[in-house]
Structure 1
Amino acid sequence: MKDTIQLTSLEPSKNLSPFIESFWMIENPSDEDEELSTFPDGGIDLYFFHSAEYPLHISLVGLETSAKVGTMPSHSILLGARLKILAAEYLLDMPVADILNDRITLDNGFAGINPDDLQCFNTFCEKLSLYFSSQLTAPIDPRKKIMSELIYRSKGAVTVTKIAKSANWSSRQINRYFNKWLGLALKSYCDILRFRNSFDSLKMGELFPKEGFNDQSHYIKLIKKYSHLTPKQLAQDENDRFVQLYSQD
């Protein structure tokens, strides 16, 4: 990771863990803008951005299916929450299907977050956690809970048929749920998770993960699909610009 970019993350409380993967913060305290590349990772991201030009800009980013290149401006800070699939229904109460590979700007004041809250990561996490906890007014549908747990526990290496059988929910209904709330089919989402969870192997220089793929050719094809690079190119990361390779636990 570039020395100028600072990355911090924090796990959510137990009651929010079915809906939130992590809270995170990226800072660029240097005098130079930094280029960062991001890849599909299966997360719905809530962004809170602060810079000299923008004291507070809030946006919601839907699921992404392709790699993107962006810029982290000098002396800027980006805080956020990476949301899981059930968050759209239970925390946001809105589908994110229409912002697949896109984003929307949210009103300042969302969740009661103000520019001062962005100066302390712990304060930001606590305030956002309290807000989201207050949104949990309905119990989770048991079928959706089982579905979500299987997807994340397997890191995407699970079939639609197995999920349907375990959750007692038809494959057709599951895919209807995914397309309505998230904007893509369950299999596509699981492929993105498998891609994302291969980063640990790549960080260690392993060009084929021990789990999640039946053969190397399939793995290489999936890596190229979501990063436009080969596993070797991704692992080398010569410019230290692939921020997600350094944001895994």
Structure 2
Amino acid sequence: MKETIQLTSLEPSDDLSPFVESFWMIENPSDEDEELSTFPDGGIDLYFFHNAEYPLHISLVGLETDAKVGAMPKHSVLLGVRLKILAAEYLLNTSVAHILNDRITLDIGFAGIELNDLASLETFANKLSLYFASQRTTPIDPRKKVMSDLIYQNHGSITVTEISQAANWSSRQINRYFNKWLGLPLKSYCDILRFRHSFDSLKVGELFPKEGFNDQSHYIKLIKKYSSLTPKQLAQDENDRFIQLYSED
């Protein structure tokens, strides 16, 4: 990862873990804009951006299925929360299907977050956690809890049929849920998680992961689909601009 870019993250509390993957902060304290590439990672993100030009800009980013190239402006801070699939229904209370590969700007004051709450990741995470707790008005449907747990525990390496049988929920209903709330079918989402999980292998120079793929050709095809690059090109990147690849645990 670029030396000028600083990234830190915090895990959610246990009661929020079914809905929140992490709280994170990216800082660019340098005098230059920094190019960054991002890949699909299966997360719904809330962004809270701050610099001299934009004291506070808030946006909701839907799931992404394509690699994107952007820039982290000089002297800027971006705080965010990466949300899991159940968050759309149970925390946001709104579908994100209409912002697949897109984003919307949210009103200033969303979740009660103010500019001074961006001073530290801990302050930001604590305040947003309180807001999310207040949004929990209904218990999780047990079928959806089983579905979500299996998807994340297996890093997407599980079939729709296996999830359907374990959750006692038909494949048709599961896909209807995914298309309604997230904007894509379950298999596509699982493929994105498998792609993301392969980062662990690429970080240590392994061009074929030990799990999740039946053969190397299938693996290469999936990597190229979501990154437009081969595994070798990703692993040998000399610019360190792939922030997810080099900064995730």
TM over 0.5: yes
- 1:183-208 per-residue CA deviation (whole Å, 9 max, x = no partner) reads 00000000000000000100000000
Which secondary structure does the structure 1 equivalent of 2:7 belong to? strand
Q: How does 1:72-151 map to 2 (within 5 A)?
A: 72-151=72-151
- 1:72-128 per-residue CA deviation (whole Å, 9 max, x = no partner) reads 000000000000000000000000000000000000000100111111111001000
- Give, in whole Å, the separation in 2 of the partners of 1:238 and 1:230: 14
Instruction: Return the offset for 1:42.
Output: 0.2
- Give, in whole Å, the separation in 1 of the partners of 2:137 and 2:114: 24
Letter of the aligned partner of 2:127 in structure 1?
A: K
Moved more, 239-248 or 175-184: 239-248
2:33 alignment counterpart:
33
5+ unaligned residues in a row in structure 1: which ranges? none
- Give, in whole Å, the separation in 2 of the partners of 1:185 and 1:227: 20
- 1:155-195 per-residue CA deviation (whole Å, 9 max, x = no partner) reads 00000000000000000000000000000000000000000
Letter of the aligned partner of 1:83 in structure 2?
A: L
Which secondary structure does the structure 1 equivalent of 2:63 belong to? coil
2:156 alignment counterpart:
156
TM-score, normalised by the number of residues in structure 2: 0.99
Q: How does 1:188-203 map to 2 (within 5 A)?
A: 188-203=188-203
2:242 alignment counterpart:
242
2:6 alignment counterpart:
6
- Give, in whole Å, the separation in 2 of the partners of 1:68 and 1:223: 14
Which secondary structure does the structure 2 equivalent of 1:16 belong to? coil
- 1:107-158 per-residue CA deviation (whole Å, 9 max, x = no partner) reads 0000100111111111001000000011111000000000000000000000
- Give, in whole Å, the separation in 1 of the partners of 2:236 and 2:54: 34
CA RMSD of aligned residues (A): 0.5
Letter of the aligned partner of 2:166 in structure 1?
A: S
Which secondary structure does the structure 2 equivalent of 1:37 belong to? strand
- Give, in whole Å, the separation in 2 of the partners of 1:56 and 1:20: 22
1:178 alignment counterpart:
178
Contact 2:38 2:244 in 1 (8 A): yes
1:216 alignment counterpart:
216
- Count of aligned residue pairs for this structure pair: 249
- 1:11-50 per-residue CA deviation (whole Å, 9 max, x = no partner) reads 0000000000000000000000000000000000000000
Instruction: Return the offset for 1:246.
Output: 2.2
1:54 alignment counterpart:
54
Which secondary structure does the structure 1 equivalent of 2:91 belong to? helix
Instruction: Return the offset for 1:247.
Output: 3.0
Letter of the aligned partner of 2:93 in structure 1?
A: D
- Give, in whole Å, the separation in 1 of the partners of 2:182 and 2:56: 26
Which secondary structure does the structure 2 equivalent of 1:14 belong to? coil
1:187 alignment counterpart:
187
Letter of the aligned partner of 1:200 in structure 2?
A: D
- Identity across matched positions, percent: 82
- Give, in whole Å, the separation in 1 of the partners of 2:247 and 2:108: 27
